[in-house]
Amino acid sequence: MRDNVKGGALTEVTFYILLSLYSAKHGYAVMQFIEEKTGGRLCLGAGTLYGALNTLQEKGWIVPCGGQEGRKREYRITAQGKETAEKELVRLKELVRIADEIVGGVL
């Protein structure tokens, strides 16, 4: 996972995972959330998702929570993860503002 924490830039997948976990979800629900919110543009495989979830746990941005029925482990975002997601939102808004000034409000 190549997130540039110093520069504040997250990968799109990381940002969507963090957003999805503002309410606790298991891995498959995270995949569904991302596919739904991106209109199918992003579809994560299980290996990619679970590798990302492990990395985000190591960074302290998410934690497992709740009971672990069978193999369905749920995750939720931490305060540190929320701070990271909120900083990314500010960065993206600034990027859009600058692009809008240059392009002239095409959108």
Give this prediction's pTM: 0.86
- Bridge partner residues of 65 (DSSP): 74
Separation in Å, CA 97 to CA 36, 74, 80, 84, 105: 26, 36, 26, 20, 9
Contact present, 16 and 48 (Cβ < 8 Å): no
Separation in Å, CA 74 to CA 11, 36, 107: 22, 19, 37
Domains in the chain and their CATH numbers? Answer: 12-103 (1.10.10.10)
Give the phi and the psi of residue 101 in degrees, each rounded to 5. Answer: -60, -40
Per-residue pLDDT of the chain (107 residues; tens, 9 = 90+): 455 555 669 999 999 999 999 999 999 999 999 999 999 999 999 999 999 999 999 999 999 997 666 667 899 999 999 999 999 999 999 999 999 999 976 65
